[in-house]
A and B are shown apart, each in its own frame.
Chain A
Amino acid sequence: DSGVTQTPKHLITATGQRVTLRCSPRSGDLSVYWYQQSLDQGLQFLIQYYNGEERAKGNILERFSAQQFPDLHSELNLSSLELGDSALYFCASSPGQLNQPQHFGDGTRLSIL
């Protein structure tokens, strides 16, 4: 058990809809990271937050947004969903913000019908 909690484990929805994925980091970790894992693209970094502030951005679509709350949990919002958004979405956390090993949750499997 990594100590990173993600909910829900599975999400099934339709094109055009909006969903929110939730992540609780390990106790004491201030950084939260979001990744997308698909068969053709592998694990792709989306965004990092540290202590409530955005720190780094990867190839995150404009339809996607994230935030980190004062209690350090984070949410990833995906809107105007397309079939190609079907993937595993992982959250990871680390104590600091630079060059830290990241510990991953078990992911949310998003299926767009």
Chain B
Amino acid sequence: GQQLNQSPQSMFIQEGEDVSMNCTSSSIFNTWLWYKQEPGEGPVLLIALYKAGELTSNGRLTAQFGITRKDSFLNISASIPSDVGIYFCAGYPNAGGTSYGKLTFGQGTILTVHP
């Protein structure tokens, strides 16, 4: 099946630092989504990307849909303690234009922010 390779697996940073994580695949994706998950909760949608090259921001978060449609990155600027959590990339693979609901997830990036 489709695979998404997310890196890094974990990050330990100081409050105020910027963060960057990415997802790559050997296959083309139609849509890229970025989620954050905290303990005891479900993934929360952060950003959705629909077109190659698209750059979208949500507050201190910025994500881009790679022009090859095989990758995406998420940046967090000026991190704060509440940014702690697991960040997942997810995407709908290009399966003849009808990929329906088969959302594929990366393995996640565990973010720890030290005050």
Report which A residues bind B (CB closer than 8 A).
2, 4, 31, 33, 42-45, 48, 50, 55-56, 58-59, 90, 92, 94, 97-99, 101-107
B63 to chain A, nearest CB (A): 13
Q: Does B65 contact A (CB under 8 A)?
A: no
Whether A45 touches B102, Cβ cut-off 8 Å, given contacts A101-B45, A106-B42, is yes
B residues with a Cβ closer than 8 A to A are 1, 30-31, 33, 35, 40-45, 48, 50, 88, 90, 92, 98-108
A43-B33 contact in complex given A2-B44, A97-B101, C-beta closer than 8 Å: no
A102 to B38 Cα, complex, angstroms: 17
* Known pairs A33-B103, A104-B42 / 8 extra A-B pairs, C-beta < 8 Å: A2-B42, A45-B101, A94-B101, A97-B100, A101-B33, A101-B45, A103-B45, A107-B41
- By the criterion CB–CB under 8 Å, are A42 and B108 in contact? yes
Interface residue from A45, A59, A107 paired with B103 (Cβ < 8 Å): A45
Cβ of B42: which chain A residues have Cβ within 8 Å of it?
2, 4, 90, 92, 104-107
The 5 listed contacts between A and B (C-beta, < 8 Å) are A33-B101, A42-B108, A45-B101, A55-B100, A98-B98
A99–B88 CB distance below 8 A: no
- A56 in contact with B102 given A2-B42, A42-B108, A99-B30 (CB within 8 Å): yes
The answer to whether A43 and B100 touch across the interface, beta carbons within 8 angstroms, is: no
Q: Complex Cα distance A10/B103, Å? A: 25
* Contact present for B40 and A98 (CB under 8 Å): no
Cβ A56 vs Cβ B101 within 8 A: yes
B30 to chain A, nearest CB (A): 5
Residues on the B chain within 8 Å of A105, using CB: 42
A31 and B101 contact, CB distance less than 8 A? yes
